[in-house]
């Protein structure tokens, strides 16, 4: 995958590879010492039933999507469901 600046990701829509709109990127977790990225933190789409998504949630109800599931970053961030 090509390099993408973090500032270009803020507020970007996140979509499942099946075309389901999951929500908007809220943040990204990482290891500060190594720089390794861990999870995309996604503010869920209001119309998406939470039980239809098989990702962990944080205490605020945001999806925690492992960075390893990112398939593409274009107009949307596309993730494997």
Considering only residues 35 and 1, tell me which one the structure prediction assigns the higher pLDDT. Answer: 35
Span 23-50, pLDDT tens digits: 999 999 999 999 899 999 999 988 887 6
Rounded Cα distance, 4 and 27, in Å: 15
Distances (CA, A) of 12 to 32, 33, 34, 45, 51: 23, 26, 25, 12, 22
Give pLDDT, residue 34: 92
Q: Domains, the chain, ranges and CATH?
A: 6-79 (2.30.30.240)
Rounded Cα distance, 40 and 19, in Å: 18
Question: What is the token pair recorded at 22?
Answer: 């999951």
**What's the distance, Cα to Cα, between the start and end of the chain in Å?**
18
Span 59-77, pLDDT tens digits: 999 999 999 999 999 889 9
């Amino acid at each position: 995958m090509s390099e993408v600046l973090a500032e270009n990701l803020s507020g970007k829509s996140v979509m499942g590879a099946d075309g389901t709109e999951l929500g908007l990127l809220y943040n990204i977790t990482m290891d500060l010492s190594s720089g390794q990225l861990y999870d995309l933190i996604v503010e869920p789409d209001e119309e998406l039933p939470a039980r239809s998504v098989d990702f962990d949630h944080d205490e605020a109800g945001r999806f925690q999507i492992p960075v390893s599931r990112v398939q593409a970053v274009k107009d949307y961030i596309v993730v494997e469901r």
